Amino acid sequence: MSSAMQTPSGTAGAEEQASILLDDSQKLLVDIVNGLHAIAQPLTILRAAIEVLSLPEGGAVDHRRYVGISARQIERTCNLFSCLQDLVTASLREAQQVKFDLWELLGPMIEDRRVLLQASGIGLVVARQDPSEPIVGDAERTEQAIAEVLTLAASLSSRGDVIELHGSRRGGFCELTLQNTRGHGKRISSSDRLSLSLACANIVSQQGKYQLAEDPFCVSLALPVQESG
């Protein structure tokens, strides 16, 4: 999402709002183009594997191999397609604005991830400094955004790394910073970029803020909190 969308609503004039909409549309189109680019990769493999499979000759091993490749690429395509759909939905449909407890929402997912990451020799540390005011936003989109960035942080990490999740209060926002302080020079693929676009769209659509540093990997997500009193 564009920075324009991060501007609190109601402050812009009609003309400015039109330009905000145009920026958002353009950003969405760029994200869609990137998503289509990502989908073209598994489709290429799939098309080629099916071509080979359609040939009359070939041993059972070959057949199994190409069927296996096809299955994996179909799954990859479906995941990307679903991500693209979610991105469009997040960009075009209003997010819910309800109160929810962020840590209650994230707790089970963080525990699951911690166990999974431990098996790969990667640590996940959570440090909270934020008061426990509820978030005002869309719980489902928040959970999806954090799941996406956690998945990406894990894929960019290596054995021995520690992924840190910091929660802090800044202004009227609860800021979550997810980082791996060790840079590995690993690139973010077009598939991963689509996930990040979705995470960004999910956060920004609830009047939140999103920031990314690629190497070392660090994502900051800020969500508005219910002010006490």
Residue range at the interface with other proteins (CB under 8 A); choices 45-53, 119-127, 156-164, 166-174: 45-53
- Contact between 213 and other proteins by CB under 8 A: the answer reads no
Contact map string, positions 136 to 175, toward other proteins, x by CB under 8 A: ----x--xx--xx--x------------------------
Q: CA dist 124 to 83, 127, 144, 194, Å?
A: 25, 10, 18, 24
Residue range at the interface with other proteins (CB under 8 A); choices 21-29, 71-79, 123-131, 218-226: 71-79
User: Which residues face 108 on adjacent strands?
Assistant: none
Q: Give which of 157, 196, 141 is closest to 30, Cα–Cα.
A: 196
Tokens 């699951």 correspond to 112
Helix-strand-coil split of the chain, %, nearest 5:
55, 20, 25
Cβ atoms within 10 Å of 224's Cβ, excluding its own = 18
CA 68, 151, 25, 34 dihedral sign is: negative
Q: How many CA atoms lie within 13 A of 159 on its CB side?
A: 3
Site size with other proteins, rule: CB under 8 A: 43
Contact map string, positions 77 to 116, toward other proteins, x by CB under 8 A: --xx-xx---------------------------------
Q: Which is nearer to other proteins, 219 or 225 (CB)?
A: 219
Residues that bind other proteins (CB under 8 A): 36-37, 40-49, 51-52, 55, 57-59, 61-62, 65, 68-69, 72-73, 75-76, 79-80, 82-83, 140, 143-144, 147-148, 151, 187, 189-192, 195
